[in-house]
Chain A
Amino acid sequence: MAPKLQQWSKDAVLEVQEYVLLICRVARAAVTPPIYYRDIIQQFDSIGIGSLTVVLLAGLFTGMVLALNSGITLDQFGARSMVGRLISASMVKELGPVLTGLMVSGRVGSGIAAELGSMLVTDQIAALRALGTDPIRKLVVPRVLAGLLMMPLLSILATGIGMVGGWVVTVLQFHVASTIYWSSVVQGLYMQDVWMGIIKPFALGFTIVTIGCHVGMRTTGGTQGVGNATKLAVVASSVAVIAVDFMVTKILIVLMY
């Protein structure tokens, strides 16, 4: 048992070390030439525009179901007009960023790990290096930048469409006037909440994409290894989304509230 635990600890430390090293190399590569602008734009399109549908659908139905459940509960206290307040606070601070994060880790994190992993096992990454290209600059930096900058936009859109979903249910199901709903939405929000909703997705986007890249770039074992890497990337980035969400929330509460 002890040797196994020792080996597991060594492997865990090695993974953390490699992950930190990757982040350092990305940080350096992001600010020094050569920078592959075309790849960056491609990744903005792939990660940002490509994730739009799934993120909007998730946001819409989350807002709708939140309105349904909270409407029924609040109705018992004669407070159905407060639904907007509850939806805006939940969506902006928590559900918008986290659900977007989970959707993006399912779609983007797994895609990155699979793509980089299969490039690695088919020697395409070695071929890139042989042709004089640094794979970190060409493959990782564009994805990290896209994840970092597109996640907040996706999260804002998901939050917005979630509120719209909540509005549809509140108006149609609970017969609350639109003006009441939207003024309740605004009343439920404080500036700190908005900042939290904007800052969190940066951290989540960075985490999801760097985990996908790290797992992809350390793939071993052929096609089966690519499958394992994909699975690991989804699991690790999904758990990381929740964990990072907690840590960022804690820090922001200390700093802002």
Chain B
Amino acid sequence: MAKKEYARPALLDEALAFGGPIVVFDQVDLAFDEKVILRQVSFTLQTGHTKIFLGASGAGKSTILRLALGLLRPDAGRIFVNGEQIDRMKEDDLMRVRADLGMVFQEGALFDSLTVRENVGYKLSEELHWPPDEVAARVKEVVGFVGLGEFVDRMPSDLSGGQRRRVAIARAMAAKPRILLYDEPTTGLDPITSLTVDEEIIKLRDLEGVSSVLVTHQLRDAFFVAEHAAEWAGSELQFEKADREKSDQAEFIMLKDGRIAFEGNASELREVAKRDEYIRSFLS
């Protein structure tokens, strides 16, 4: 079977270059039966930037990622991903949009009957029909990127929680998507492992130019991702405090009862927390 390539038209590619609107939610509503999950949610993720969603459990954070992937459909409003309106798109057409999206699920959601190598190379071999040698080379590259080169033949059940999340990141990035969605990637991990996962997110954003949506209620991780940047110092990769312009490219969105209670950068969030009791209680 021929190798599949998904390419954006040149004009769209230009429009969605760095700073372009790569994910747009326009007045999105969603309810399950009587329970309202999202109300009039609008935001824009710019190419190369990061959106960090904060909020209490059940506030609708993970739902936003599932909507962006087309796993759920909104009751009202429009969603654009990569320049295509996906909210009413057929499942078969959504597969094309998902080719440019990667998602890291809460517990990793690795296929437990496949090895790390097969998990990471799944999309390349099963869906994009890459030749086996190219799949092997890419798997080696991305598994090395997340520092798990020696674990490729292990089963997911043989890995620790942190390793599973890193494999999930490797799987999500294997097909070189332009957008990565992270659903609480550090929940349940110890601080040291969380830091490793945070660094992977920063590396993908700063070194690979991936646009990211991060859902978390781990504030330490959220601020670390927003306020740090990865850069090479010779042959050594360093994570330094980001400058103002860089850290402004990470925007926080605080959800409360399905609505956006706050949208802005890290310093604005700290400022608002002084006045807003809900945000203050969340940050403290």
- A residues engaging B (CB < 8 A)? 36, 122-124, 126-134
Contacts and interface: CB of A to CB of B under 8 A. Distances in A.
A124 B111 CA distance: 6
Contacts of A131: 98, 122-123, 126-127, 171
A128 B110 CA distance: 10
Interface residues of B, number: 23
Contact of B112 (A36, A124, A129, A130): A124
Name which of B69, B110, B111, B126 has the most chain A CB atoms within 10 A of its CB: B126
Contact of B95 (A36, A122, A126, A134): A134
Interface string B73-99: 000000000000000000110010011
B107 interface: yes
B101 interface: yes
B37 interface: no
Nearest to A33: B1
A130 B122 CA distance: 12
Given A122-B107, A131-B123, A132-B99, 5 more contacts: A124-B109, A124-B111, A131-B126, A133-B126, A134-B92
Nearest to A127: B109
A127 B122 CA distance: 11
Given A129-B69, A130-B71, A130-B98, A123 B107 contact: yes
15 contacts: A124-B110, A124-B111, A126-B66, A126-B71, A126-B105, A126-B109, A127-B105, A127-B111, A129-B69, A130-B101, A131-B98, A131-B127, A132-B123, A132-B127, A134-B91
Interface of B: 66, 69, 71, 91-92, 95, 98-99, 101-103, 105-107, 109-112, 122-123, 126-127, 171
Nearest to B103: A130
Q: What 10 A-B pairs come out closest when comparing CB atoms?
A: A123-B109, A127-B109, A130-B103, A132-B127, A131-B123, A123-B105, A132-B95, A132-B98, A124-B109, A130-B69
A153 B171 CA distance: 39
Nearest to A134: B91
A234 B126 CA distance: 32
A133 B105 CA distance: 16
Contacts of A130: 69, 71, 98, 101-103, 105
Name which of A124, A128, A131, A133 has the most chain B CB atoms within 10 A of its CB: A131
Nearest to A128: B111
B198 to A, nearest CB: 21
A139 B46 CA distance: 36
Contacts of B103: 127, 130
Contacts of A126: 66, 71, 105, 109
A130 B105 CA distance: 10
A130 B101 CA distance: 8
A134 B171 CA distance: 17
